[in-house]
Amino acid sequence: MSTICTDQPSLKTTLRVLAHLLDYPDAALRAALPEMREALHGQDTLCEQRLAEIDELINTLLRDDGFDTEAAYVDLFDRGRGTALHLFEHVHGDSRERGPAMIDLIQTYEQAGLYLASDELPDHLTVLLEYASTQPSESAKGLLGEVAHILRNIYSALTRRQSAYASVLAALLDLAGEPAHAVELPREPGLDETWSEPAAFDGCSSQGQRRPGEPQPVRIVKDARSPLQTQSRMQPHAQLHTQPAQPEQGASA
């Protein structure tokens, strides 16, 4: 396991590189990968084994066809709760507690002078890492420690899918001072199960009918509202030695 260097610029750079590695891998980001690799190796925050694992991820992103790389990213992070990079998805799911938690997190960012774009959500891991990179070393480590249980679950889900992205989550667990080992996770429902809806007018079907005079069943379906959005782009944006592109939803701040 690696230990965190107390040098703030070193930790800051490492967190921002790891945030970008979890971004949507469009052409501009893939073009910046060699310089991101160089920046990461120039720090003393991660052990050689972890750096080698991240190098494998970078090599894969550079080698594979761009369209396939982007499609694989969407399939990995946007089509299942287990690997979702939105942290509150793992804590609150679709419950009402998620909205107030989002507001609290936005206020935390704004108190630090950071503002979100209208298409960014505050609980996305890349955004949280951007915020952590602006904080003192001990505060950044403490923040990673607070979400370590979520990081471990995402790491475990990525490991189960044999994804090279697991190396980034392992690095974050290292920085949090937590062991990077996979834990047993419950079976994740398939996409069809997650988005399944009740049959229309099921209460009036032969299955749902009751005898005359008896109450008829009424099914109430939750109305999924669009997530909370804010008005301006988070600043300052992560700057390495390059300027990677801004992905769409879930982009780093």
**pLDDT per residue over 56-106, tens digit each?**
999 999 999 999 999 999 999 988 778 999 988 777 556 566 667 778 888
Is residue 171 exposed (0-12), middle (13-18) or buried (19+ Cβ within 10 Å)? buried
Asked whether residue 220 is domain-assigned, the answer is no
Asked whether residue 120 is domain-assigned, the answer is yes
Residue with tokens 């609290």: 104
Q: What is the CATH number of the domain that holds 105?
A: 1.10.3480
Global pTM value: 0.69
Asked whether residue 118 is domain-assigned, the answer is yes
As a whole number of angstroms, the distance between CA 134 and CA 60 comes to: 29
The DSSP bridge partners found for residue 124 are 86
Instruction: Quote the domain boundaries for residue 133.
Output: 8-175
Asked whether residue 83 is domain-assigned, the answer is yes
Asked whether residue 207 is domain-assigned, the answer is no
As a whole number of angstroms, the distance between CA 215 and CA 208 comes to: 11
In 3D, which of 69, 17, 65, 20 has the Cα closest to residue 246? 20
- Model confidence over 118-163: pLDDT tens digits? 778 888 999 999 999 999 999 999 999 999 999 999 999 999 999 9
Asked whether residue 107 is domain-assigned, the answer is yes
Asked whether residue 15 is domain-assigned, the answer is yes
Q: What is the pLDDT of residue 188?
A: 61
Domain count, the chain: 1
- Contacts (Cβ under 8 Å, ≥6 apart) of 80: 157, 188, 191
Asked whether residue 123 is domain-assigned, the answer is yes
